[in-house]
Every structure is written in C-alpha cells, then in structure tokens.
Amino acid sequence: MAEAKKREKSSAKDGAKSAAKGSAESGTGDAPNAKGKTTAAESVEGEEHVFQADMQQLLHIIVHSLYSEREIFIRELISNAADALNRVRFLMLTDSNVRDAKQELEITLDIDTDNKAITIHDTGIGMTRDELVSSLGTIARSGTLDFVKRLSATEPGQRMEMIGQFGVGFYSVFMVSARVVVDTCPADPDQAPTRWVSDGGGSYSLLSSDKKQRGTSVRIELRDDSEEFAKGFRIEEVVKRYSSFIPHPIRMDGRQLNTLDAIWSLPKDQVTSERYAEFYKFIAHQMEDPLHTIHLTIDAPVQYSALLFIPKHLTNEMLYSRTGFGLKLYANKVFIQDDCQELLPIHMRFLRGVVDSEDLPLNVSREMVQQNQLLTRIRKSLTGRVLRELKSLSEDNPEKYTTFWAEYGKVLKEGITSDEANKQRLLELARYNSSIGENAEDMTTLNDYVSRMREGQKEILYYSGPSREAIERNPNLEYFRRQGLEVLYFYDQVDDFVMAQLREFDGKPFARIDQADLDALKEGDAIESEHEALEDDAMAKLMEYVKERLGERITAVVPSKRLVDSPAVLVSPDGDSVNLEKMMRLLNEKFSPSAKILEINPNHPLVSNLSRMLQSGGDDPLLGEITEQLFENCLLVEGMLEKPEKMVARIQTLMERAAALQVQTLPSSS
C-alpha cells in the first residue's frame, strides 16, 4: 500500500522513463553546468526517479519468483565489476587523463556481519551521473525485456538455465536485499561521484556521494530471509563456483579467492576436463558441460592459443542472430574484446571460447581490431583447425559427431556456399539421411553415397521435404524405391539452396527426383505392374483431354515411368525445387510458382476408368471433377495447394455420387 502511494507520488512528480532519463540532463532543480557536467555540490539530496514500467515488471519477477537461485546476484555483481575493470584498463591504454591511474585493478568484498550487509568494491571505470541513470534506471540491454517475457512463461524448475544463459544483471541484487546503495566515482577526473539508492520498489534516488577513489561500491543490505549471505564461507563458496576465472584479483579479508589462471595458455595435459567444463560454464554462462572442447596452441604461421567449446545445444539465438556471437580476444592474457567476430566465419558462430595471441599489440583499439591483418591470418588458420578437429571427431567418435551434426549441421552447411576455400572440407563433414537408412537418424556421407551408386547411375538423387514421413509419402519416390535406387533426403531449407549452387559432387550432378528429364529414368527398366497398361492411343486421347481441362496450370501431360501405386504426380520441367518455390512464396506473396508437368500412370485403374468415361462420350461432369481432384491431390502432396475450400466442395460432390451408386446395389429397405 505504502509503496503504491509512493510510486504514485513520484510518478506525478517525475513522469515515467523519459522523465527519469531527462532529469539527468535538465534535472529537477539539479541544473548541470554549461558543459553538461554535474558536480557534487550541485546535487540535490534524495532526488527521486521512477523506474520505467518494463523494469518494474522485471524487478517484480526477480523478487518474487527466483527465490531458489538467489546466490547468482554475486556472480552478476562480480561480473559487472570485472567489466568495469576491463574497461578502465582499456581506457588507460589510450587516455592518460584517468583518475587514480596507479590504482591496482581489483575487486574487494566486505562483510558487515553486524548489520547484515555486504559491499562489493571495484576500482573500475565507475559511472558518471548520466551513466548511472541510463545503466541502472532503465533496461539498457535490449535482450532483457525479451528475457523477462520468456522467463515468466518458463516453468520454475527450468528458470535457472534461462538465467544462466542470459544473466539477469544488476537487478538480481534485489532477490536478497532490502536496500542497495551504489557509490560510484568515474574515471574521468572532471566528473563527480554519485550515490544511487533503491529498495527495489518502484523508484530509486540519486544523491551526492563522498566516494573519493575511482570505481564503484555496491552495498547490499540483506533482507532477513537472506542473512546466509552475510557469512564469509557462503560468499567464498559462491565466488569459487561462478567467478574463478575472473581475470582480476577478488579479495576478501585480504585473501585472494580466485586463481586467475589463463587455462588456455597451459599445456593440454595440465588441464583436466573438469577445469575445461568449469571455464566453459563461466565464459558461456551455461549450466551444462560443453558437447566438445577444442584446445589449440599454434606457432605458425601465426602465434595464438585458442580454447573453443561446442555447446550441447543450438539455441535460436545462435541460429538466427548474426550479431552477438564471437570469441573473447586476449593479447598475451590481457583481455581486449568480447564477441570478436573477426576470428571465425559466420557459419561457425555456435563456437564459444577464447583466442589469445602474443603477437597482437596491446594498445590495439576496437576499431583497429576490425582491420587487423593478424586477425585475418588467425581466422584463416583457426577455421582450418576447427574443420580438422571436426573431421577427427567424426572418425574417432562417430556417435558424438552425429549428435554434433544433428545440432549444428544446418549452420555449418551455410559455409558450403559462402566459404569457397573450405567448401570441399565442409562437404565431407556433411551428413544426410537417405532412403537406405532405417530411420531419420541414420546418416550417410556424400562419399559413401557415391561409393554405393549403381553401375551406370550418373546422378546423385535427392529429394527434400519437411520430414522423412512427408518425403516417403510422395509418389515421386515410388519408382526409385522399387528399383532400389538410393535417394538422399534433405530436411533443412538451406539444402535446396546449397544443391542449386553446387550442382555436383565428385563429378556427379545432383538431381532432384521430381525433375522431368532424369537420367535414372531413361536408363532404368520399366516397372512390372499388376494392372494392364492403357493402350497408347487411348492414353494419348486422355492426356489431350486432361491438358485441355487444366489449361495453363500445367505445361504438359506425359505418361509416367516413375509411378507405381499412384495415378499422377507433378514434376518440374527444369528441376526447380518445390521447396525453393515455397520459400520464395514466403518471402514474396506475389511470387507464383512455375507451372509443372503432370505425369499420368498408364497402369493405374483410375486412369483406365477415366479413359473409358472419355470414350463413352465424355459428357459426364464427373469426368471433369475427377480430373480436377487428381490435379489438386498432386498439389496437396507438394504442399502447393492454395485454396483448399474448393477442394472440400468437390469431394462432397464426389462422395454424394459414390454413395448414390453404392445405394443402388443394396437390397431395397422394407
């Protein structure tokens, strides 16, 4: 109640987000000087700001539903402190005018057992008053709001994993605190220190601060239910769990809690798999072990060491996001940059890890990183090494490789068309399902397919669809199944693009089995059928009728060699993929797929019956209706039927006719 009142009061005074932000410049009585800089003397005591609405929502969730994961607030605050230390170290490389330039870069934890409070100090970059408002007063990170929405929709038991992946950030502190006081003194000697105070309700206050030393101190006044964190051993336990690899000393009571080991620079045999996993969890914010670890120490043609991890699962972020990926870059153990995208091609964006090079100049700026020749050379070497590692994995541990490919195959395949230099190696890593497999998980390589090709078989046959079931339902497959010709099954949308560009592998052209002019059909024997084939003459008349009836919707009607159990199928005159066209339609509503060739099975009873109907005058409207239905069935199988409503009405008519015929044969009811 009291809180709601306070919020109302401050809303009236301050307005929402924009006002809170605006007050940093124009102020509510806190006039900045001409340069837009505020000094301590000008600050007004207890100036209150409301949190923006999104953030109130976030705070609510944090305080009320993340109870069991409370300890991660320590990880979040330490990671912020470490970021601030990295940033000031970076600043000092290029700017000589930094406050307390001689100060050691460190994190210190103070426990005030009597008052049940903890303080986390850092000697990092600090925040100006404006930065404080924008960093701790708004959801600065664009992903956060998205995170909030997803978190509220997640089962409590699975939340920990989500938090692990995203990090809740600074606000996690309100899981444990009654009140938080942030004192911060910016690296810029012209900027004054500021104090930020909040109880995690609807608002925060800005005050002047007497902090003299560069950096930030976050004082957490614990709630009664979180007293456990006012004990040294508990804090130490949490720091060890999450923050062992923070590259700055973390001290408590004069003791250093973390080890600072740059494990990527150690020889492989000195690092246990537990330590690799621990490091991975720390840098990738993951709860589970990695799927695979790659540790490299390379001396030529460039010197670098790399410690890379393949996570267990491909997330949507990895699949769709073309930003926010990349490795951590170090120059001789000094941190340079997060998410360095210059180190790997985009189709390896699922890798997490660290690259460290002694050859990289320390004072390299972020802009220079982008143009650095050395990085281009590291990238080339590293890409090759990763491919080599994947190849060995596929040979030494095929089972694990299959798991890997199932998760990341669709990302790696992007490289087949975009990374000309490594095309061949990527193709050799590719695995596909095929008609000889037992199920959708049974994979083969292109090389193995080629080695199984029949005597005289010229084409690598493939077909694509959303699933094995969908592909195997397609009448196009009947002939190849009967003849025992192997067909590769493609399920990823990217496959059709890749094949269209590749055209061939090992000198053998790729051919979609719904292509009209398949070599395999020309060469292959005709299939024996239980039904007698329609006479050529009658067949010609029927095809003429069907073409006239369907008009422009098809380019031609031809007798089929590939059908066994189905009466008709659509094939592409030029081998253009149906999937490709479906995708074009998704991208462009006006895109109309090119007309197809209709193949008719002369051995099918329906076809011979239609021919008889035609011969006996052809004036029964049923003949036309069945022809339409035959065509639309083909469209439906291909997923190309646009107006299913019309089809329902037609089926209704056909059902009425069938039922009426059936009734005629029944004994009359008495």
Residues near Mg ion (CB under 5 A) are 80, 169
CA 547 – CA 148 distance, rounded (Å): 58
Nearer to ligand ADP, 74 or 446 (CB): 74
Minimal distance, residue 169 CB to Mg ion, in Å: 4
Q: Is 135 in the site for ligand ADP (CB under 6 A)?
A: yes
Nearer to ligand ADP, 76 or 638 (CB): 76
HSE toward the beta carbon, residue 95, CA cutoff 13 A: 15
Beta partners for residue 505, in sequence order: 508
CA 41 – CA 397 distance, rounded (Å): 67
Minimal distance, residue 390 CB to ligand ADP, in Å: 32
Which of ligand ADP, Mg ion, none lies near 602, with the C-beta cut-off 5 to 8 A by kind?
none
User: Quick one: which of 203, 216, 293, 444 contacts ligand ADP (CB under 6 A)?
Assistant: 216
Q: Which two tokens stand for residue 44?
A: 């007004």
CA 193 – CA 126 distance, rounded (Å): 9
Ranked by CB distance to ligand ADP, the top (closest) residue is 169
- Of 16-24, 80-88, 360-368, 390-398: span binding ligand ADP (CB under 6 A): 80-88
Q: Is 81 in the site for ligand ADP (CB under 6 A)?
A: yes
User: Quick one: which of 51, 90, 147, 170 contacts ligand ADP (CB under 6 A)?
Assistant: 170
Nearer to ligand ADP, 212 or 473 (CB): 212
Minimal distance, residue 81 CB to ligand ADP, in Å: 5
CB 307 within 8 A of CB 279: yes
Minimal distance, residue 62 CB to Mg ion, in Å: 14
- Of 73-81, 287-295, 408-416, 533-541: span binding ligand ADP (CB under 6 A): 73-81
Place of tokens 């929709």: 153
Minimal distance, residue 80 CB to Mg ion, in Å: 4
Nearer to Mg ion, 166 or 545 (CB): 166
CA 406 – CA 431 distance, rounded (Å): 9
Q: Is 141 in the site for ligand ADP (CB under 6 A)?
A: yes
Nearer to Mg ion, 80 or 627 (CB): 80
Q: Is 84 in the site for ligand ADP (CB under 6 A)?
A: yes
Nearer to ligand ADP, 136 or 327 (CB): 136
Sequential DSSP letters for 119-188: EEEE-S----HHHHHHHHSS--SHHHHHHHHHHHTS-HHHHHHHHHHH--GGGGGGGTEEEEEEEEE-SS
DSSP state of 333: T
| Measured distance between the N- and C-terminal CA atoms of the chain, rounded to whole angstroms | 80
Q: Is the preceding peptide bond at 301 cis, omega within 30 degrees of 0?
A: yes
CA 205 – CA 202 distance, rounded (Å): 11
User: Quick one: which of 80, 177, 383, 572 contacts ligand ADP (CB under 6 A)?
Assistant: 80
Total residues found in the chain within this entry: 670
Minimal distance, residue 7 CB to Mg ion, in Å: 26
Q: Is 36 exposed, middle or buried, given 0-12, 13-18 or 19+ CB atoms closer than 10 A?
A: exposed
Q: Is 125 in the site for ligand ADP (CB under 6 A)?
A: yes
Q: Which of 474, 506, 516, 488 is nearest to 638 (CA)?
A: 474
Q: Is 76 in the site for ligand ADP (CB under 6 A)?
A: yes
Nearer to Mg ion, 140 or 659 (CB): 140
Minimal distance, residue 145 CB to ligand ADP, in Å: 13
Which spans of this chain sit near ligand ADP (rule: CB under 6 A)? 76, 80-81, 83-84, 122, 124-127, 135-136, 140-141, 167, 169-170, 216
